Homo-oligomer: A and B are copies of this chain.
């Protein structure tokens, strides 16, 4: 699956991924109104609103980008109807030719990790049939439980040609509390990175591994070190834009081939129409504002890469 992702990045000349993390507060009134008229002010109504909101954005940006990253928490908060909207969003994005990175940050032990892996990347068997509960192309995985929490995901990746991104250094302010702790002079995130490289060797694509990692845009010095440490690992980079990461900081997350990283923006794209810069689009043209924000983001990052 990493081969497919790389191909699409090259084809679109766009090392970016749009985070589909819808909050109801981002959804324009006209969409909420229609959804609530049909389903009431219910969980079903909320789910319909975020699905229609997503659909508008996906339709407006799908020709520009290689991938989307729906954040499952934003759907899970609306319970079962919300998760149905997550599933529908993933399926629709795949229909539109996008690679789907499920930002699920799951991680458990043994057969339990296996169940998450089967549910999100693989298949479950029911009697004599098999089904995909959800069907992302990649998912994010939390490494705190060690190899036997991660390997069940890798097994499924190998069987199904899928991929994962393992959390190494997250973008949030307190990520250092545990991740930066020094173990014999080496920060924990580097120990995790070394394991990611080891796990990645078991599941290689052509140039890059199907086992990628997550390193926040907000820690560019660490990104630089980690890039060198893990040359065949694709880095998923959250934290650009709204969280403060700048394009010039991101140059060192890429390899000399111009590949090796994919930068996420969520709020900065999907709620673009709420920014001063794009507010002339107005809420009724929110998706066009998102399209313009994607164009600007690609230009910003490619500009920094060329500079």
Q: Which of A's residues lie within 8 Å of B, judged by CB? A: 21, 23-24, 32, 36, 41-43, 45-46, 71, 73-74, 76-80, 82-84, 87, 105-113, 115-116, 118-120, 124-129, 131-134, 142-149, 167, 170-179, 181-184, 188, 191-192, 195
A188 to B188, CA, bound (A): 9
Some 20 contacts from A to B, beta carbons below 8 A apart, are A23-B111, A41-B127, A41-B128, A73-B112, A73-B115, A73-B119, A76-B120, A78-B133, A79-B87, A79-B119, A80-B83, A80-B84, A105-B107, A144-B178, A144-B179, A145-B170, A148-B174, A149-B174, A178-B188, A178-B192
By beta carbon, the residue of chain B nearest A181 is: B183
Asked if residues A195 and B170 are in contact (CB atoms below 8 Å), the reply is no
Q: How many copies does the complex hold?
A: 2
Q: Other than the known A71-B112, A146-B170, what 19 A-B pairs have Cβ atoms closer than 8 Å?
A: A24-B125, A41-B126, A45-B127, A71-B108, A73-B108, A73-B119, A77-B119, A80-B84, A82-B133, A83-B83, A105-B106, A109-B170, A142-B142, A142-B144, A145-B174, A146-B176, A146-B179, A148-B174, A177-B195
Q: Do A82 and B119 form a contact, CB below 8 Å, given A77-B124, A109-B170, A170-B109?
A: yes
B43 and A115 within 8 A (CB): no
Select from chain B the residue with minimum beta-carbon distance to A82: B133
In the assembled complex, the CB of A100 is this many whole angstroms from the nearest CB of chain B, namely: 15
Partner of A143, one of B42, B143, B172, B178: B178
Question: If A73-B116, A170-B145 touch, does A108 touch B105 (CB 8 Å cutoff)?
Answer: yes
Cβ of A24: which chain B residues have Cβ within 8 Å of it?
125-126
Cα separation A112 to B116 with both chains bound (whole Å): 19
